[in-house]
Chain A
Amino acid sequence: MCATCGCGTADHDHHHSHDHFGEHSSGGVKIDVEQDILYQNNLLAQRNRGYFEAKNILAINLVSSPGSGKTTLLEKTLLDLKDSMKSCVIEGDQQTSHDADRIHATGTKVVQINTGKGCHLDAHMVLHAVQGMKPENESVLFIENVGNLVCPAMFDLGESERVVVMSVTEGEDKPVKYPDMFHSSTLCIINKTDLLPYVPFNLEKAKEYARQVNPKLEIIEVSCTTGEGLDKWYQWLESKTLAGSAIT
């Protein structure tokens, strides 16, 4: 049983005795429940958000399909901003610690969460990871979610910003195929622009689709390989840290 969040229910006992009632048995009592199904997650997400706000931590939830370049973007960012930004990372993967090892190699504090069969991080996992990591005040916490554009969309982690990464090797219609994710994000990074000459990707069309799903979505094009456009991403990060306090 976890003292902070009251968890332990994860392992609840499912061995009640079972009386089976006929399909049409009557005389039941109606209970009005009226409870949001994601209530528990949203509650813990709010708790995380409160913690981040109190400590002036910019928490960024990075989401994408597998392989769009989340870890590469983080590696670049952590190295480029090493001297100007305090940061730490939570890595969510179904298996392995490969991504966490890559982050560790940049000299950044990192916690790995293996979700096993789970295809998304939830607020509860992040709560425990944060407890273990104790991020500093005025820092940036990057959370790399499991590569999946569907499930992570529903689970608020308490992040300050949700950043969706797509790459030019994916179809330009990603935003309309996975509208929930693009709808709930504040920034879209279009990565691997160095490959534009070699792949049939219509950049303008991609942006148009993204804006149809979410007219407020900001869009930044980058190539993690050549570094092109990364300055805009760094400016965006700086603008999001309260009064630039996490980046000096």
Chain B
Amino acid sequence: MHELSIVMSIIDIAETHARNASSSAIEEVELDIGELSGVEMASFDFAWQQATKQTLLEGARRQVNRIPGKAVCLDCSASFPIRQLYDPCPVCGNHLLDIVSGKELRVRSLIVV
């Protein structure tokens, strides 16, 4: 359950930024979680419920942008969507790919009061 570590890091980042802005509450947190990031959303939700208790993120709205996977073939330069790291290039069948999006794991923004 690395999702718990992920949630703990989000709490850390959010609380640090909220404090630096002298806010006492977070209304909303916006996250980028790529579809290839290795985060299992069901575990993430469960960890979120548990770990945000008695933190500034308890009860905050959570806005999650799931960013779809995209890759570029290093052989033929085709650009295409991927769902799995082992998807081949649909043009030439090669597996040597550069993943250009879908790995994101980022706190985008907060709305604080």
**Residues of A that sit less than 8 Å from B by CB:** 9, 12, 14-21, 23, 25, 27-41, 118-120, 122, 150-151, 153-155, 175-176, 179-180, 183, 209, 211-216
By a CB distance below 8 angstroms, the chain B residues around A9 are: 12
Whether A30 and B110, one on each chain, are in contact in the complex, defined by CB atoms closer than 8 angstroms, is yes
CA distance A40 to B110 in the complex (A): 19
What residue of chain B has the Cβ atom nearest to residue A175's Cβ? Answer: B86
CB distance from B56 to the nearest CB of A (A): 7
By a CB distance below 8 angstroms, the chain B residues around A21 are: 25, 27, 59, 113
CA distance A133 to B31 in the complex (A): 38
Whether A14 and B54, one on each chain, are in contact in the complex, defined by CB atoms closer than 8 angstroms, is yes
CA distance A175 to B9 in the complex (A): 28
Whether B38 and A213, one on each chain, are in contact in the complex, defined by CB atoms closer than 8 angstroms, is no
CB distance from B109 to the nearest CB of A (A): 5
Whether B9 and A40, one on each chain, are in contact in the complex, defined by CB atoms closer than 8 angstroms, is yes
| Cβ contacts A to B, 18 pairs, < 8 Å | A16-B24, A16-B55, A21-B59, A21-B113, A23-B61, A25-B113, A28-B111, A31-B18, A33-B110, A35-B13, A35-B106, A37-B10, A38-B6, A150-B38, A155-B5, A176-B86, A215-B94, A215-B96
In the complex with contacts A37-B13, A180-B85, A20-B105 CB distance below 8 A: no
By a CB distance below 8 angstroms, the chain A residues around B58 are: 18
CA distance A29 to B81 in the complex (A): 35
Whether A34 and B106, one on each chain, are in contact in the complex, defined by CB atoms closer than 8 angstroms, is yes
Partner of B2, one of A27, A31, A155: A155
CA distance A101 to B13 in the complex (A): 38
**Chain B contact residues (Cβ within 8 angstroms of A): what range?**
35 or more
What residue of chain B has the Cβ atom nearest to residue A41's Cβ? Answer: B9
By a CB distance below 8 angstroms, the chain A residues around B85 are: 179-180, 183, 213-214
Whether A120 and B2, one on each chain, are in contact in the complex, defined by CB atoms closer than 8 angstroms, is yes
Whether A30 and B109, one on each chain, are in contact in the complex, defined by CB atoms closer than 8 angstroms, is yes
By a CB distance below 8 angstroms, the chain B residues around A183 are: 85
1/0 contact string of B1-41 vs chain A (CB within 8 Å): 11001100110111101100101110110010000001000
CB distance from B69 to the nearest CB of A (A): 11
Whether B84 and A179, one on each chain, are in contact in the complex, defined by CB atoms closer than 8 angstroms, is yes
Within 8 A of A (CB), among B83-106: 84-86, 88, 94-96, 105-106
CB distance from B54 to the nearest CB of A (A): 5
By a CB distance below 8 angstroms, the chain B residues around A119 are: 1-2
CB distance from B78 to the nearest CB of A (A): 16
CA distance A173 to B19 in the complex (A): 47
Partner of A34, one of B59, B108, B111: B108
Q: Apart from A37-B10, A41-B9, what are 4 other A-B pairs with CB-CB below 8 Å? A: A14-B55, A29-B21, A38-B9, A215-B94
CB distance from A240 to the nearest CB of B (A): 22
CB distance from B32 to the nearest CB of A (A): 9
Whether A29 and B10, one on each chain, are in contact in the complex, defined by CB atoms closer than 8 angstroms, is no
Partner of A37, one of B18, B105, B110, B112: B105
Whether A153 and B38, one on each chain, are in contact in the complex, defined by CB atoms closer than 8 angstroms, is yes
CA distance A76 to B111 in the complex (A): 55
CA distance A23 to B28 in the complex (A): 10
What residue of chain A has the Cβ atom nearest to residue B10's Cβ? Answer: A37
Whether B54 and A19, one on each chain, are in contact in the complex, defined by CB atoms closer than 8 angstroms, is no
Whether A37 and B106, one on each chain, are in contact in the complex, defined by CB atoms closer than 8 angstroms, is yes
Partner of A151, one of B2, B15, B17: B2
